[in-house]
Amino acid sequence: MRTALPGLGQQITFVYAEQPEASWHFYETVLQLPLVQDQGRCRIYAVAGGADAPRAFLGVCRARAPRAGDEPRAEGGVVITFVTPRVAECHALLKARGVEVGEAPAWSEAYGVEHFFFRDPAGYLLEVQRFDRGGWPEPADQA
């Protein structure tokens, strides 16, 4: 597969929390993402690609300053989306773990996705979604 930059095979998104301990607990215990590396001020979790060859990661780091704003869809904002064909199952699991996820996943006609949103302890907007439109690549591992 051709990439925009030579050798790209993994991706990390970093987010920042003033009190990262609550976020670390959330990602490790509630979402149960595997911890790949603890750098002290920052912890990096595997998100996709399987245990043997993770490809996507989320780094949660101690912030150096307070959050500038709460609107995730404004310039500089972040929405972290986890893609899975099992949206309803994820919704039920997170709800059972005490995460405020709303009543049920919703369908977006505009984007052709089934999805739901929730927030992490630092206030980041997280989304779980399934694409139901042509052109989206199938994941390598759907475990």
- Tell me, what CATH number does 35's domain have? 3.30.720.120
Domain count for the chain: 2
Residue 83, domain CATH: 3.10.180.10
Arithmetic mean of pLDDT, 125-132: 90
Whether residue 29 lies inside any domain: the answer is yes
Arithmetic mean of pLDDT, 128-137: 82
Tokens, residue 27: 């990602």
Q: Which residue segment(s) compose the domain that 29 sits in?
A: 11-64
Q: Is 49 exposed, middle or buried (0-12, 13-18, 19+ CB in 10 A)?
A: middle
> Per residue in 54-77, is it b (16+ CB within 10 Å) or e — as a string?
bbebbbbbbeeeeeeeeebeeeee
Q: What is the pLDDT of residues 103-117, one digit of tens each?
A: 899 998 888 899 999
Ramachandran class of 106: left when φ > 0, alpha when ψ lies in -120 to 50, beta otherwise: beta
Tokens, residue 34: 């595997």
pLDDT above 60: residue 143 = no
pLDDT above 60: residue 141 = no
Identify the pLDDT of residue 140: 63
Same domain flag for 16 and 54: yes
Percent of the chain with pLDDT over 90: 57
- E strand spans, 40-100: 42-48, 56-62, 79-83
pLDDT above 80: residue 73 = no
Q: What is the pLDDT of residues 1-53, one digit of tens each?
A: 555 777 778 889 999 999 999 999 999 999 999 999 999 999 999 998 877 88
Same domain flag for 129 and 89: yes
pLDDT above 90: residue 102 = no
Identify the pLDDT of residue 2: 58
Contacts 24+ apart (CB under 8 A), 52-55: 54/10, 55/9, 55/10, 55/11, 55/140
Whether residue 1 lies inside any domain: the answer is no
Whether residue 20 lies inside any domain: the answer is yes
The Cα–Cα gap between 61 and 129 comes to 25
Same domain flag for 49 and 85: no
The Cα–Cα gap between 94 and 110 comes to 25
Task: Give the position of tokens 């993994």.
Answer: 10
Task: Give the position of tokens 């930059």.
Answer: 5
Same domain flag for 104 and 124: yes
